[in-house]
Amino acid sequence: MIRNILFSVWASVRRRKLFTILTILAIGSAMTLLYALCIAFDTSVGNHPPEIHKNRTLYLRGLRIPKDNSLGKRTLVTTTFAEHYLPQLRSIESFALYKQFTCNLESMFHPKKAYAYGTDFRFWQILEFNFLEGKSFSKAEFDNGRKVVVIAEHTAMKYYGTIKVIGKKLKGFSDFTIIGVVKSGSSNQLASQDLWFPYSSIEHDNRFKSLPMQYYLKTDGKSCLGIILVKSDVSLSQAKLEFEQLLGKLSKTESIVGMPGTTRLTGSMKDRFEQLIPKQDDFILTTIFTILILLIPVTTIIFLNNSQITERYEEIGVRKAFGATRKKVIQQYLMENTIITLVGGLLGILFAYLSILTMWNIHEQNSLTRTFPFNGMILLYCFILCLLLSVITGIITAGRLSKVHPVTALKGGTL
């Protein structure tokens, strides 16, 4: 019986090549778009090493200096401000400070730009990096400004051909010694950098260029970004409120430590979702855009399925005239739809992989190659979702086809 159904399905597919190709392409496109959106979202907000506590992590990017009748100007936090005031917050377990830099590493033909973080020692305590070789720098090494560096796996392989590089000098920086190698991460994680230095060792080093922070006022060389780990029994909203209350109190004082030239500050710490989409309007627009993008392949699949009702009206009428039951009609159509969906889904997996890989290579072409963000579980979920979507639309179409009356169909009527 199954053999006969498969033979019938194959014969139907061969007769309707154009429809089959268009359906497979539509399903493949839906799979690709869905996977790309899911992998981008998961990489940005999911708990992945080294950021395994994103669900209780807040990010301190900058503050605002309010002015009368205006929103004021934004300014980066300074290390002095953070070190003085953040320990006063009872809701946080720990915090780490870091700075963004670029530098040029030696290569065979020309210097290659590398992305680096200057961090404090707590950075390695909050974030759980996977060390393949060596270790991170300690508090004593940070306090003494020791010239050491932790490098990513891809950096080690690019410049040394091996991860066995502990004790070697960094290419182009003979005064810096490599003390650790960590597993590379994807682009939206703090593990995506090429190098990590103690910022106490590079603050006044002209070989390191600070990444421009658009729309932020320039402060001294002590400006930084912060990662705040909230206590497990405290909600993120409580921690945010406590920080805002602290700023409110500071604004009533005559001066604020580490923020020269101002006695008023406003601002807040952002959670993982606010980091991804800072404003509510941006979130609404992103949601609408995502839905519209996904509606394109979905609408195509529904349109193609509905077009079959007209194209196959006579065929179903003849089959029912020769004794095919409603169950047989539904069974055949669902088998056809499932097989086509499976082929489209497999093609979608290939499309998703190649398209993400292409975009990744374009994005990373000016820096070192990092780990490609491939997630088999998300791919499986997307495949199952596309399969369910196609089966649901197939059931609707099959139900309508099964209601065809043979006499009406053979006379050229419609449903």
Q: Tens-of-pLDDT digits for all 415 residues of the chain?
A: 567 666 666 766 676 677 777 777 777 777 777 777 777 777 777 777 788 888 899 998 877 766 654 455 677 788 888 999 999 999 999 999 999 888 888 865 667 888 899 999 999 999 989 999 999 999 999 999 999 999 999 899 888 999 999 999 998 898 999 999 998 876 556 777 899 999 999 878 888 887 665 444 455 557 888 999 999 999 999 999 999 898 888 877 767 877 766 556 667 777 766 665 555 555 566 667 767 766 766 676 667 666 666 666 677 777 777 777 777 777 777 777 777 777 777 777 787 777 767 766 655 544 444 555 667 777 777 778 777 777 777 777 777 777 766 666 666 555 5
**Bridge-partner residues for 76, per DSSP?**
62
Nearest alpha carbon to residue 136 among 204, 50, 23:
50
The 10 Å Cβ neighbour count of residue 193 is 25
> Residue 32 has which token pair?
């690709």
Burial class (CB in 10 A: 0-12, 13-18, 19+), 322: exposed
Determine contact, residues 77/99, Cβ cutoff 8 Å. no
Q: What is the pTM assigned to this prediction?
A: 0.71
- Output the pLDDT for position 223: 83
Taking each helix axis from N to C end, the angle separating 17-45 and 280-311, rounded to the nearest 10 degrees, works out to 160
Nearest alpha carbon to residue 393 among 311, 293, 298, 297:
298
Longest distance between any two alpha carbons in the chain, whole Å: 94
Determine contact, residues 85/257, Cβ cutoff 8 Å. yes
- Output the pLDDT for position 94: 94
- Output the pLDDT for position 366: 44
Beta strand 216-217 pairing with 70-78: parallel
- Output the pLDDT for position 126: 92
**Bridge-partner residues for 98, per DSSP?**
119, 225
- Output the pLDDT for position 367: 44
- Output the pLDDT for position 247: 87
Q: Where are the domains of the chain?
A: 2-48+280-410, 62-269
Task: Please tell me the distance from the alpha carbon of residue 113 to that of residue 115, in angstroms, as a whole number.
Answer: 7
